Structure 1
Amino acid sequence: MVLYGTAALALCMLVGMLIGEVLGVLLGVDANVGGVGFAMIMLVLVADWLRRKELLPKPTEQGMLFWGAMYIPIVIAMASTQNVAEAVDGGPMAIAAGLAALLAGAALVPVLSRIGGQSEPLPAMTEEEKQEA
């Protein structure tokens, strides 16, 4: 069953890369435009849909969670390295666009942190927990 989670991840990746390639061709760019992003969004949506329909056995879900947790940080790190290298080669406009996105994301942190309201504070640590830390 864990294998099915891996297969779902691979299928989402293939479809996402295909969408990214087609989008690159439509935009006239000789690159994959957002294929990894489309794949990850698709994986989240497919997993959520399967979970709601109760078609996602626990071992399959665990496989999807495991490979999703392993895969996403690695791909994002690789893509961000490429993006920085291309931005430096692309000149000041590419760097300005990247900085604008960074600043917009940082500005949205307080806004997003207000969504969902306040939660209960964590209970105080016991003496045993303090010694373990």
Structure 2
Amino acid sequence: MVLYGVAALALCMLVGMLIGDVLGVAVGVDANVGGVGFAMILLVVATDRLRKRGLFPKPTEQGVLFWSALYIPIVIAMASTQNVAEAIGGGPMAAIAGLGALAAGAALVPVIARIGGQSEPLPAMTEEEKAEA
């Protein structure tokens, strides 16, 4: 069953990369545009729908969670393949865009934190829940 989770992730990754390649061609860029992001969105949507229909057993979920834990290192590895030195050497626009995105993200943290308001704290874990964790 864990294998099914890994297979679902692989399928989403292939479809996401295909969408990224098609989008790159559509905008005239010789690169994959957002393929990993599309793959993760597909994975979230697919697993949510399967879970709601009761077709997503716990072992299958473990296969998806295993690879989901590796998502950030994979994205970092992919980003490291970008030619940062060439982008900065081409002009200050890359640095300005990066700093602008950083400033916007930092400014939006308090705004996003206020969305939804206060909620009740979670109840204490039962002995059974502690044993599962």
Please state which band the TM-score falls in when normalised by the shorter chain: 0.7 to 0.9
- After TM superposition, the runs of 4+ consecutive aligned structure 1 residues lying more than 4 A away are 119-122
Q: How many residues align?
A: 121
Question: What is the TM-score when the length of structure 1 is the normalising length?
Answer: 0.82
User: Matched residues in 2 for 1:11 and 1:27: separation?
Assistant: 24
User: Matched residues in 2 for 1:101 and 1:43: separation?
Assistant: 26
User: Matched residues in 2 for 1:113 and 1:58: separation?
Assistant: 31
Secondary structure at the counterpart of residue 56 of structure 1: coil
User: Matched residues in 2 for 1:79 and 1:90: separation?
Assistant: 21
Which residues of structure 2 form unaligned runs of 5+?
123-133
Judged with a 3 Å threshold, the aligned counterparts in structure 2 of structure 1 residues 43 and 90 are, in CA distance, closer, same or farther, namely farther
Judged with a 3 Å threshold, the aligned counterparts in structure 2 of structure 1 residues 56 and 89 are, in CA distance, closer, same or farther, namely farther
Which residues of structure 1 form unaligned runs of 5+?
123-133
Judged with a 3 Å threshold, the aligned counterparts in structure 2 of structure 1 residues 89 and 45 are, in CA distance, closer, same or farther, namely farther
Q: Tell me which residue corresponds to 1:43.
A: 43
Q: How far 1:104 sits from its partner (Å)?
A: 0.9
Question: What is the TM-score when the length of structure 2 is the normalising length?
Answer: 0.82
Q: What do you get for the CA RMSD once the two structures are aligned? A: 1.9
Amino acid at match of 2:13: M
Q: How far 1:76 sits from its partner (Å)?
A: 1.6
Deviations 1:67-121 (A, max 9, x none): 1112x11222123334471532442112211211111111110011112323567
User: Matched residues in 1 for 2:33 and 2:89: separation?
Assistant: 18
Amino acid at match of 1:37: G
Structure with greater helix share of residues: 1
